[in-house]
Chains A and B, each alone.
Chain A
Amino acid sequence: SQTIHQWPATLVQPVGSPLSLECTVEGTSNPNLYWYRQAAGRGLQLLFYSVGIGQISSEVPQNLSASRPQDRQFILSSKKLLLSDSGFYLCAWSYPRMGGVQPQHFGDGTRLSIL
């Protein structure tokens, strides 16, 4: 069966520090991968998605970047965090789209607090 792991579960970082959040998927090959941010426990905002290694699409301009160095690894980064980067970050995977949208399956998230 497929599993998705995100870490760390919680992170407290000072303003201006760098960020690296990691997400890995097991049990499937060539998944689509996604990063979302969720503010105040509601509303999921898609940040990035990837359909393959090295292929990243950005949905909103921001202070963050994403990379996919391996098939089942997705990394969310920032060189200098802002206060507004605080939130709950969720990684998700889906099967590649084949004639229709595939459901996305989420990790347990990373709670990021910027001080």
Chain B
Amino acid sequence: GQQLNQSPQSMFIQEGEDVSMNCTSSSIFNTWLWYKQDPGEGPVLLIALYKAGELTSNGRLTAQFGITRKDSFLNISASIPSDVGIYFCAGSQGNLIFGKGTKLSVKP
């Protein structure tokens, strides 16, 4: 079946740093979505991508739909403490499939 590999699994950020994460698939997708989940809450949609090569921003967040249609990237510029949480990618060729998430934490 379709699988999504999301990396990194976790990362520590320092305020002001840029952050990058990505998802890759063994199959071609026609939709990529990025969500953020805060503890004890449901995921919130950040960015939706519908075309190969599409680059979309939402404030300090930028996501791209890979040209091969098998991957997507999310970048966060100038991170702030409230960026911590778990970020999920989701891709679809029919039903939506979710990655296992990237957990962002603050550097001790």
Q: Taking beta carbons and an 8 Å cutoff, which residues of A are in contact with B?
A: 6, 41-44, 46, 49, 90, 92, 100-101, 103-109, 111
Given A46-B95, A101-B31, A101-B92, A109 and B41 contact (CB-CB distance below 8 Å): yes
| CB closest chain-A residue, reference B10 | A42
Q: Which of B42, B86, B103 contacts A109 (CB 8 A)?
A: B42
Residues A44 and B88 in contact, CB atoms below 8 Å apart: yes
A6–B90 alpha-carbon span in the complex (Å): 22
Residues B42 and A106 in contact, CB atoms below 8 Å apart: yes
**Is the CB of B59 closer than 8 A to any CB of chain A?**
no
**Is the CB of B76 closer than 8 A to any CB of chain A?**
no
Can you spell out 22 A-B residue pairs with CB atoms less than 8 angstroms apart? Answer: A41-B37, A41-B39, A41-B86, A41-B101, A43-B98, A44-B43, A44-B88, A44-B98, A46-B96, A49-B95, A101-B30, A101-B31, A101-B92, A101-B94, A103-B45, A103-B48, A105-B45, A106-B43, A107-B42, A108-B42, A109-B40, A109-B42
Q: Write the B11-42 contact mask toward A (1 if CB under 8 angstroms, else 0).
A: 00000000000000000001101010101111
